[in-house]
Structure 1
């Protein structure tokens, strides 16, 4: 004897029609010059099960009332049936329920019910106080190893470059402040012949700018090598 489909604790007797539907989750994208459409999948849709049958007998009215309450309540229910055996489908919600009393037959109610899969939500991503990669929990998400590839480069030099860039930036700022002060002194001196005291500092700024360019070039080389690997 074949098992009777169940929704929660309600046995759906005299099921006359069962229909399964699922959307594969494909999108058709036009591509210039390509005959047809590019097919891209975003993930399948929910399984949909439609059942039609008759409730009858002494428990028919109680079963009808229970199904109506489940449809109105919208709570997730356990579903079991032969058609769901190969679908790994366990929990559903009643999206639509239609019932009608059959004239001339006591306690006979025709029904049509539409069930939609209710998948379990994934675990929330771990959060942390910092922004480090370790706080994001990539290992728990089943992602591939995101460590930097072996480029034959001592990546510790990046720390030295960062320190050098910081020193250069500080020195440039100090030099610019000094130039501003000296320019003010020259302007205050009026027509005095004081030469050009600003030129040495300008030369120093130029040399520091060259160092900054070299530091930037080294960082760019490392980043480029990383992405081209």
Structure 2
């Protein structure tokens, strides 16, 4: 049976929205290119993610590091207290996140087609499950089919997290499509586990030069629903 397993952040919802809401509420920096600051903060977060998972770097230190570093690139210095105030506002804004319409339609279609659905997401278990609950994902995906790096003590792109989920959900790797926005974590991780890959690239990020390449790409011109419909029609 064909399966679609989803990332959460910047895949199921637009993570820029809570970021912008928190940024506008915390800082008065109209000259800063917000899109670039957002993308840079994501990159900095990814760089130290493993250290937060192992406990080498406290999560509060990561929160401070990523927004301070992103703003420093544009010649703005903020204090640790300002960085934490931004994080507080950011987390509050995440309580208002909603599924993208394209994602909602895709989940409905997959459910109608009886495709297996699941989630693999990096991050603290409680934090990520709060987002999953806010998005209402249990309307399509049971809790026992959602997996977090914090809960498993394994994180993308380690292929073992994909292999663990494949065993738990009895997936055929060749018929399983991982849907995510991070080339390194989602595309490379899934391909190294023998899965198919759908790369969500709404932000027009450059591809990494790597032997692992996505099987499908969703960008501003191509919807996820169209991609999934194409896959299931081919399988049918």
Normalization by structure 1: what TM-score? 0.19
Name which one, 1 or 2, has greater alpha-carbon Rg: 1
Which structure is richer in relative contact order (CA contacts within 8 A, separation 6 or more)?
2
> Which structure has greater strand proportion?
1
Which one has a larger percent helix, Structure 1 or Structure 2? 2
